[in-house]
């Protein structure tokens, strides 16, 4: 996401970040594209990747994203980051996404198969790893927010939590999740949070999460258009660390 926070600070614990923050050094010659600008962007083969440091002014640090491989079937990338200060604030959401042909309601989508393999090389951080999808009654709504936001947390590091409060548990895509909900301005946010630790390899149908919300939370699938289909990480503090996505794909069928 570019302009909204999907996480809230939990408690007032000591920062996971070191006292000093050094700049991330851009790599050379080993990747398709280096993205170190605030909204450094790449697209190809129906995918897009964004360095997306939308919250960088709330702290101190640096971040670069490297597009490693791309084909019509998958894409891989990594993000090196280091952030301190602004304990309550998300600094960025480096992500990979499927470029979307606008005009499809959630109800008109049969499936959204996705596969990802990812890891962090340093767990002494405060961050999540999550799918992030927006929907809106306006098919051409901008991609920074919407009427609804669906997040699926595959990783949760440190003293962070989703927006709102936990309202129960759910079994979706063969796994058990905490279900959280709350409001981010006028946008209703639903977050499914892993109860089994970090899920580094995930192969599922994201449509199943929308189906659950439609059946159990009154999500209006026939009136909501899909505007984003993204996967990435939201860092608060910590590092230096590398968020490595060895492979990702996502499709809308």
Indicate the SS3 state at residue 8: strand
215: its two tokens? 């059946």
Q: What is the DSSP letter of 121?
A: S
| Sign, CA torsion 84/60/6/34 | negative
CA pair distance 226, 133, nearest whole angstrom = 8
CA pair distance 51, 155, nearest whole angstrom = 19
Q: In the annotation, is 48 catalytic?
A: no
Q: In the annotation, is 28 catalytic?
A: no
Selected catalytic residue, list 67, 234, 235, 236 = 234
Spatial contact of 232 and 95, defined as CB atoms under 8 Å apart: yes
Name every residue whose Cβ is closer than 8 Å to that of residue 176 and which is 6 or more positions away in sequence: 169, 170, 195, 196
Spatial contact of 114 and 251, defined as CB atoms under 8 Å apart: yes
Indicate the SS3 state at residue 253: coil
Burial class (CB in 10 A: 0-12, 13-18, 19+), 224: buried
45: its two tokens? 């083969």
Selected catalytic residue, list 114, 129, 149, 193 = 149
| Enclosing H/E stretch for 215 | helix 207-217
Q: Can you tell me which residue has the tokens 């939308």? A: 54
Phi, psi of 216 (to 5 degrees): -115, -15
Active site residues: 149, 234
């Amino acid at each position: 996401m570019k302009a909204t926070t999907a996480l809230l600070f939990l408690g007032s614990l000591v920062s996971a970040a070191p006292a000093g923050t050094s700049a991330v050094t851009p790599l050379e010659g080993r990747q398709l594209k280096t993205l170190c600008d605030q909204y450094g962007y790449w697209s190809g083969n129906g995918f897009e990747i964004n360095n997306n440091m939308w919250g960088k002014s709330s702290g101190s640090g640096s971040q670069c994203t490297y597009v490693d491989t791309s084909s019509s079937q998958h894409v891989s990338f990594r993000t090196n980051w280091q952030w301190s200060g602004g304990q309550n604030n998300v600094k960025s959401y480096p992500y990979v996404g499927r470029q979307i042909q606008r005009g499809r309601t959630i109800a008109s989508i049969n499936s959204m198969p996705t596969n990802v393999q990812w890891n962090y090389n340093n767990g002494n951080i405060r961050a999540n790893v999550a799918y992030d999808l927006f929907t809106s009654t306006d098919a051409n709504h901008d991609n920074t927010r919407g009427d609804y936001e669906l997040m699926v947390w595959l990783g949760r590091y440190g003293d962070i939590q989703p927006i709102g409060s936990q309202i129960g548990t759910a079994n979706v895509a063969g796994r058990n999740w905490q279900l959280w909900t709350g409001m981010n301005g006028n946008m209703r946010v639903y977050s499914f949070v892993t109860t089994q630790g970090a899920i580094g390899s995930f192969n599922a149908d994201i449509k199943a999460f929308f189906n659950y919300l439609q059946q159990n939370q009154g999500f209006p699938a026939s009136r909501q258009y899909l505007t984003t289909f993204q996967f990435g990480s939201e860092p608060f503090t910590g590092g230096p660390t590398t968020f490595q996505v060895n492979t990702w794909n996502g499709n809308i069928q």
